[in-house]
């Protein structure tokens, strides 16, 4: 594996094993820069659908527009440029097709099967083919967050939640919010959907697992929803620094997972294990010297390091936002991107750049990085 540089170092200090791909971008030998294109790079809005009386919760990453471009699909990547949704070839950056969209902060896209869902925030869900042809559209809720469970797409707004089928091009069901039950987040995965809300009667966070066919509540669990792993659903009990595991089918409580050294930040579940942020302490080698009276004294330096931990498997340092994509754990911070194998904790790739990464997409043997200045960079991943 290539020698990799600490992200906090300047470009001039890049260690052996890095290749200079441009004047201010260095990559590990597993990557090769294929092309760069200027595209739109709007901020990701973060919205809250809570009432003012609802207390804040940790880990509200579900409220981020995770489905803003770029999005990797077979053969290339979808991005926004000059008011169009554009499909670029993965290997060359050549524009294959474009479709006009509203260039604002609400633009979100999802890819399911052979269809692309485009949501602009104004109450219409447009369905495109992989060739960029419009197949139809649906009237849906405005000002919503878009997400997908792998088969259906869902829209969450202050008014409630809707489920839509791209293949049938119809709204499957809609569930309105109420004064007593106002959803503030949704969690999707494994063809399943759950919504988070604050239960004022007992002053705690709860999550409801919904029936995908009807939208009705199947089970209610205490805590902040994290997600699924196999047949279990996990919720965070923030004050106790515990994660509770529940049986997805029956709703039965299974066990508690204590989060040792947990600090507020990232928490994910993968193959029944939890990956979460911790602050670990490391002791440097002691220095022995002779003090007054000939006594020996040893001084040790304590180093605190923020890490991601998969208990019993690995620990890795991280600095920014973490994304789990296709069994690769990606860390985005102001100095670049680092990729880790989520199974082994092995460092797979790294990019050091002056222009901070804003969003990434991984697919088809390529890593696409969108920077804050609006430069989309495509890196081929070598095996």
pLDDT higher than threshold 80 for residue 15: no
Q: Hey, what CATH topology would domain 41-53+65-177 get?
A: Lipocalin (2.40.128)
Beta carbons within 8 Å of 259's beta carbon, 6+ residues apart = 241, 242, 243, 267, 274, 276, 278
Under 8 Å between Cβ of 98 and 86: yes
- Rounded Cα–Cα distance for residues 265 and 340 (Å): 18
Give the pLDDT band (50/70/90) at residue 170.
very high
Q: Residues spanned by CATH 2.40.128.630 within the chain?
A: 41-53+65-177, 178-260
Least confident window among 49-58, 90-99, 335-344: 49-58
Q: Among 281, 219, 211, 217, which residue's Cα sits nearest to residue 247?
A: 219
Exposure of 1 by Cβ count < 10 A (0-12 exposed, 13-18 middle, 19+ buried)? Answer: exposed
Would you state the pLDDT for residue 54? 72
- Cα 208 to Cα 54, 150, 328: the distances in Å are 17, 19, 29
Phi, psi of 293 (to 5 degrees): 75, 10
Q: Is 61 left (phi over 0), alpha (psi -120 to 50) or beta?
A: alpha
Residue predicted with more confidence, 305 or 88: 88
Under 8 Å between Cβ of 287 and 274: no
* Domain 178-260, second-level architecture: Beta Barrel (2.40)
Q: Among 375, 381, 282, 379, which residue's Cα sits nearest to residue 40?
A: 375
pLDDT higher than threshold 50 for residue 4: no
Q: What is the pTM of this model?
A: 0.86
């Amino acid at each position: 594996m290539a020698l990799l540089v600490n992200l906090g170092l300047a470009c001039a200090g890049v260690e052996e094993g890095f290749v200079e791909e441009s004047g201010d971008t260095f990559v590990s030998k597993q990557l090769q820069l294929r092309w760069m294109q200027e595209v739109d790079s709007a901020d990701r809005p973060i919205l809250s659908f809570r009432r003012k009386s609802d207390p804040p919760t940790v880990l509200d990453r579900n409220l981020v527009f995770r489905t803003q471009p770029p999005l990797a699909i077979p053969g290339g990547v979808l991005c926004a440029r000059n008011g169009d949704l554009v499909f670029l070839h993965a290997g060359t950056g050549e524009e294959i097709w474009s479709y006009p969209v509203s260039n604002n902060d609400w633009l979100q896209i999802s890819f399911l099967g052979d269809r692309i869902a485009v949501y602009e925030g104004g109450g219409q869900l447009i369905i495109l083919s992989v060739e960029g042809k419009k197949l139809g559209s649906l009237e849906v809720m405005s000002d919503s967050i878009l997400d997908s469970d792998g088969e259906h797409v869902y829209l969450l707004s202050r008014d409630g939640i809707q489920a839509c089928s791209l293949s049938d091009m119809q709204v499957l069901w809609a569930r309105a919010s109420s004064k007593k039950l106002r959803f503030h987040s949704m969690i999707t995965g494994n063809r399943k959907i759950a919504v988070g809300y604050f239960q004022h009667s007992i002053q705690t966070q709860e999550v409801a697992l919904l029936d995908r066919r009807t939208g009705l509540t199947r089970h209610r669990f205490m805590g902040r929803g994290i997600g699924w792993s196999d047949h279990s659903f996990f919720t965070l009990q923030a004050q106790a620094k515990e994660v509770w595991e529940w049986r997805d089918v029956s709703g039965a409580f299974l066990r508690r997972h204590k989060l040792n050294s947990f600090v507020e930040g990232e928490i994910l579940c993968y193959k029944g294990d939890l990956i979460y942020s911790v602050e670990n302490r490391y002791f440097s080698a002691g220095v022995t010297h002779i003090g007054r009276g000939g006594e020996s004294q040893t001084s040790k330096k304590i180093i605190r390091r923020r890490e991601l931990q998969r208990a019993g498997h690995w620990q890795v340092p991280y600095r920014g936002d973490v994304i789990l994509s296709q069994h690769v754990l990606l860390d985005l911070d102001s100095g670049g991107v680092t990729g880790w194998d989520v199974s082994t904790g092995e460092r797979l790739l790294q990019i050091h750049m002056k222009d901070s990464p804003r969003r990434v997409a991984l697919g088809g043997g390529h890593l696409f990085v969108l920077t804050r200045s609006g430069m989309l960079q495509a890196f081929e991943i070598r095996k």
